[in-house]
Amino acid sequence: MYVKTVNGRLVSETYLLDITPNGAQITGNFSVVIGDELSIGLPIMKDPGGLEKQEYVTARVVWAQKAYASPEEPLRYLFGVSFLNPFKEMEKLLEMFRWRGY
């Protein structure tokens, strides 16, 4: 499952590694620092017309570190966030996350 936007900015190669009702672990190609507040656009479901819907959640970075895959790979970052305003469809997101096997 991927993250589409952070602070209103489209991001690429940013993925949810784990999610709970209170927070998430994310990997991305941009750095953050502890205490940063992020507005994260998460894909929830497709509407009847087949378009993907996004829910936005505000989160605070609670830990962050560089993630080295290999010298040939671009630098990536891992960070954990705590949700500041969990949304009503969080259970649907958790179900999608489990169902897709992420």
Distance from C-alpha of 38 to C-alpha of 85, rounded to nearest angstrom: 11
Task: Report the Cα 18 to chain-centroid distance in Å.
Answer: 9
- What are the contacts of 88-94 at 24+ separation with CB within 8 A? 89/44, 89/55, 90/21, 91/21, 92/44, 92/45, 93/19, 93/42, 93/44, 93/55, 94/19, 94/20, 94/21
The pTM (predicted TM-score) of the whole model is 0.74
Query: What is the rounded CA–CA span in Å between residue 36 and residue 86?
Result: 17
Q: Minimum mean pLDDT among 16-20, 59-63, 85-89: which range?
A: 85-89
User: For 5-99, CATH number?
Assistant: 2.40.10
Percent of the chain with pLDDT over 70: 73
With bands split at pLDDT 50, 70 and 90, how would you rate the model's confidence at 45? low
**pLDDT band at 47; cut points 50, 70, 90:** low
